Structure 1
Amino acid sequence: MINLLELYVKLVGLVLIGFFLGRKLPATVPTRLGQWLFWVGVPISIVAFLRQADLSGQIWIAPAIAYLAIFLGAFLAWLGIKGQAYFTNTITPESTQGSLILAAMVGNTGYLGFPVTLAMVGQKYFAWALFYDLLGSLFGAYALGVLIAYRFGGGVRNYWEISKTILINPALWSFGFGLLLRQVMIPDAVEFGLEKVGWSIVALSLVLIGMRLSRLNSWDRLPQATMSLAIKMLVVPLAIGITLPLFGVTGDPAQVIVLQMAMPPAFATLVIAETFNLDRDLAVTALAVGAILLLLTLPIWLWLF
């Protein structure tokens, strides 16, 4: 409980700082900070925390579970859309259908999932969250997510740009570099400094989330967003979480996986929605409400698992 309260103070405090700064600073600041974190900050933090992570056990099952959660979320959202059409005799616009499915399948397992996992479970099992995000959520968003956006939307359909986004992702490259660097002995002072830099970058990531939330002003799609959030943050984590022992995943690794599954929709869903002309207002609403809802659902998952 003490750890949870400390986490809430840090999460809410840093996000509120970002929210306040986002309202006061020029619109270019969150963009530049996001670019710096993407290209420099997050890769450094991955290298830093990967040095302390335990890579033993069935860690490679983490991305497999990520894909299971992604496909289950997409399938349940599709069922919800069909059920709504059947019972209300109305047809949801395809652009809205695409955003509904995206919000139900891809979570913010990086910028938000990493700090939550590190705070509640520790660095030892950070690799489970890392494998879930980099080998699961990333490809789920920019591969399967783009295919769904292509089906339900329009707009830019540059496959080379999509492929390049995945291939040159610095987080993936730093992941490989971090694995190699684990074999290298470095002085304790450098190790200590690297860890502190890693935590500072985590804090900046939370500030960035607050900055981005400060610019989300649409709440018109709240009823529709509720369906996607219920699937993404409640149904999928519970359904897959109770089956994790069947995969041999128990204890702290199981808690890491559940926390990653229970994250609110990723900012990538908004990027994809804007690129392919999906329902941007729905994507925005799902992001904002999901971030708030996490404060209510997080204690539930920590208690259940």
Structure 2
Amino acid sequence: MNNFILIFVFLFFGFILQNIKQIPKNTHKILNWIVIYICLPALALYHIPKIKWDNQLLYPIGVAWIGFIISCFFFDYLGKRLGWSRKLTGCLIICAGLGNTSFLGFPIIEALYGEEGMKTALLVDQPGSFVVLSTLGILVATVYSKGNLSGFQIAKKIAFFPPFITFCVACLMNVFQFDFSNWVQLFFKTIGSGVTPLALLSVGLQLKFEKRSMHWGFLSLGLLYKLILTPAIIFFLYVIILHQHSDAIKVSILESAMAPMITGCILASTYGLKPRLSTMMIGFGIPISFITLLFWYLILQLI
């Protein structure tokens, strides 16, 4: 419950700060920079070395990968068919393709499925959503923000992107079963905990309620994919095709139905991929998701 309250407190606080003249207009860009270049690498160095890999865990891990990859094909196809700009297409791929599986997902899963459910939720989030953001998310942000780049230029931008560097370091630590001392881990955990409040403040600073905004149609399409189509796809694959009915599968499907990932939308905004639409995906997606999550929870009770 505290997480839900904090979400709206920081969003509202950021929204109020818009009207204070003493607040620099580029404050949200500074917050975005801190989230992407400081907090996100710290999270990678804290969480990834602790992941225990097991082939039996591919179902929850696969949720974020499936959702994002299909998002790439879905919005890229629509973008080419409807003549969208590359920045609009990239924005929708990232914002609709990644879910808020931790800050929003963890308290909901814990309340509904207890400690066992949290074990599955952690797998959906860490080797799933977080790793997708650090790899495919960065790739999409780079490709769709810069236009026609050579393979070498794209590889260079990704390779020297701080979150990707720390992701690779963290993966090597996992492979060699090495982790930092307790006080260093606490330092990274503390730094990483700033992701959500800072990102929400940034969103609040940029959130606009414009009745005539050109983004309403794209917002609706993005949320339709994230809140309805993604969990429907995972449900069809896991339950209908593969005949899986365990609580772990239910948790995986419910996590796939979470609102857009805050950090993912911040990444899109930082790369200039329709920042206004990115913030709207969070600002409107979170409250709307409470309704759609109830729908999916009731569906899952029938299997």
How high is the TM-score relative to the length of structure 2? 0.69
Are the equivalent residues in 2 in contact too, given 1:67–1:140 (CA < 8 A)?
A: yes
Q: 1:166 to 1:114 in 2, by over 3 A?
A: farther
- Once the two structures are TM-superposed, the CA of residue 166 in structure 1 deviates from its matched residue by 3.7
Q: How far, CA to CA, are the matches of 2:251 and 2:262 in structure 1?
A: 20
Q: How does 1:23-172 map to 2 (within 5 A)?
A: 23=16, 58-83=56-81, 85=82, 91-154=83-146, 158-162=157-161, 164-168=162-166
Partner SS, residue 153 of structure 1: helix
Q: Which amino acid in structure 2 is aligned with residue 130 of structure 1?
A: L
- Once the two structures are TM-superposed, the CA of residue 218 in structure 1 deviates from its matched residue by 3.2
Q: How far, CA to CA, are the matches of 2:6 and 2:267 in structure 1?
A: 26
Note if 1:300 corresponds to 2:295: yes
2:224 aligns with: 230
Q: Show CA shifts across 1:179-220 (max 9, x none).
A: 999xxxxxxxxxxxxxxxx9xxxx998766654443232353
Unaligned runs of 5+ in 1: 1-6, 86-90, 182-197
Are the equivalent residues in 1 in contact too, given 2:87–2:144 (CA < 8 A)?
A: yes
Q: 1:250 aligns with which of 229, 245, 249?
A: 245
Q: How far, CA to CA, are the matches of 2:108 and 2:44 in structure 1?
A: 15
Q: 1:119 to 1:41 in 2, by over 3 A?
A: farther
Q: 1:103 to 1:41 in 2, by over 3 A?
A: closer
Are the equivalent residues in 1 in contact too, given 2:142–2:158 (CA < 8 A)?
A: no
Q: Which amino acid in structure 2 is aligned with residue 285 of structure 1?
A: M
Partner SS, residue 58 of structure 1: helix
Are the equivalent residues in 2 in contact too, given 1:18–1:207 (CA < 8 A)?
A: yes
RMSD over aligned CA atoms reads 4.1
2:274 aligns with: 279
- Once the two structures are TM-superposed, the CA of residue 32 in structure 1 deviates from its matched residue by 11
Q: How far, CA to CA, are the matches of 2:272 and 2:195 in structure 1?
A: 27
Q: Which amino acid in structure 2 is aligned with residue 60 of structure 1?
A: L
1:217 aligns with: 207
Q: Which amino acid in structure 2 is aligned with residue 61 of structure 1?
A: Y
How high is the TM-score relative to the length of structure 1? 0.69
Unaligned runs of 5+ in 2: 148-152, 180-188
Stretch of structure 1 that moved more, 26-35 or 103-112: 26-35
- Once the two structures are TM-superposed, the CA of residue 239 in structure 1 deviates from its matched residue by 2.1
Q: How does 1:177-188 map to 2 (within 5 A)?
A: none
Are the equivalent residues in 1 in contact too, given 2:3–2:103 (CA < 8 A)?
A: no
Q: How far, CA to CA, are the matches of 1:19 and 1:58 in structure 2?
A: 38
Q: 1:31 to 1:144 in 2, by over 3 A?
A: closer
Are the equivalent residues in 2 in contact too, given 1:14–1:210 (CA < 8 A)?
A: no
Percent of residue pairs bearing the same amino acid type: 19
Are the equivalent residues in 2 in contact too, given 1:14–1:206 (CA < 8 A)?
A: no
Partner SS, residue 265 of structure 1: coil
- Once the two structures are TM-superposed, the CA of residue 227 in structure 1 deviates from its matched residue by 0.7
Q: 1:208 to 1:298 in 2, by over 3 A?
A: farther
Q: How far, CA to CA, are the matches of 1:145 and 1:41 in structure 2?
A: 16
Q: How far, CA to CA, are the matches of 1:256 and 1:180 in structure 2?
A: 30
Partner SS, residue 122 of structure 1: helix
- Once the two structures are TM-superposed, the CA of residue 262 in structure 1 deviates from its matched residue by 1.0
Q: Which amino acid in structure 1 is aligned with residue 142 of structure 2?
A: Y
